[in-house]
Amino acid sequence: MSRAVPPEIAEILISEQEIQDKIAVMAKAIDEDYCGKEILLVGVLKGAVMVMADLARALETPVSMEFMAVSSYGSSTSSSGVVRILKDLDREISDRHVLVVEDVIDSGLTLNWLLRNMRSRGPASVEVCALLRKPEAAKVDVPVKYVGFDIASEFVVGYGLDYAERYRDLPFVGRLKPEVYAG
Ligand code: PRP
C-alpha cells in the first residue's frame, strides 16, 4: 500500500499511520458527542478533502457533506481575515449540526470568519474539526473542539496541504527540502 516518498521531501513529520490513528480517535470522540444525531460535515476546499474523506468514512454517525471554497485577501502565504466566498454551500444549514472540517488552522482568521458566517445561517450547532493547528501562528482565538495535532509554525505539505498546488495527495505530512522553494 505505501508509496514512494518523493525526493523533494526532507522529512516526514506525521506519518500516514499516525494520521489514520488520530482520525480514528477523533471519529470516536465525535461519534460519542453526536450520538443519535446527524452531522453535516462542511469541508473547506481544497485542503480539507483528505480529512473529509477519511473522517467521513471513520464516523459511525450518519453524515452528509457540503463544501465551501473561500479565498483570503492578502498575500498567498498569510491570510488577512477578509474572506471572499468562491463556492458557497449548496443547501441551507438551518437546524443542522454543522461540523466544519479543516486541514490546518494557521492564523485562525479564515476559520474565525467562517464560523461567524456559519452561525449567521441558523444552524442547530457549529463545531470545528481540524487535523493540524499551529498555535504559535494564531492571531485570533478560535474554538476548535477536535484537533488532531498541534505543530510548530513551519511550512508543511501533504494530506491536503500544498506548495504551488503540489503534494496535496501525499498520505503523510512532511517538510519540503529548501531547494524546492528556491527552484
Ligand atoms: C488553508 C487552510 C485554511 C487556511 C488556514 O487554506 O485550508 O483554510 O489556509 O489559514 P488561516 O488560519 O491563516 O486563515 P488555503 O488558503 O491555503 O487554501 P487551500 O486549502 O485551497 O490550499
* Coil vs helix vs strand at 103: strand
The finding on whether 103 has its CB within 6 A of some atom of ligand 1 is yes
With a cut of 60, say whether residue 77 has pLDDT above it: no
Predicted confidence at residue 76, as pLDDT, reads 58
SS3 97: strand
As given in the structure block, the three cell numbers for residue 101 are: 472540517
User: What phi and psi values does residue 89 have, to the nearest 5 degrees?
Assistant: -60, 150
**Rounded-to-integer distance, Cα 158 and Cα 172, Å:** 6
Q: Using a 6 Å cutoff on CB, does residue 168 contact ligand 1?
A: no
**Closest ligand 1 atom to 134 CA:** 12
106 is catalytic: yes
> Per the structure block, which three cell numbers stand in for 173?
505530512
Nearest one of 104, 100, 78 to 13, comparing CA atoms: 104
- How far apart are the CA of 85 and the centre of ligand 1, in A? 13
Q: What is the pLDDT of residues 111-167, one digit of tens each?
A: 999 999 999 999 999 999 999 999 999 999 999 999 999 999 999 999 999 999 999
- Residues 109, 127: Cα–Cα separation, whole Å: 16
pLDDT confidence of residue 181? 84
pLDDT attached to residue 74? 63
Q: What is the pLDDT of residues 17-33, one digit of tens each?
A: 999 999 999 999 999 99
pTM: 0.94
Which residue is catalytic, options 33, 90, 106, 169?
Answer: 106
Give me the pLDDT at residue 83, please. 87
Identify which of 50, 52, 103 to mutate to test ligand 1's pocket (most ligand atoms within 8 A of the CB). Answer: 103
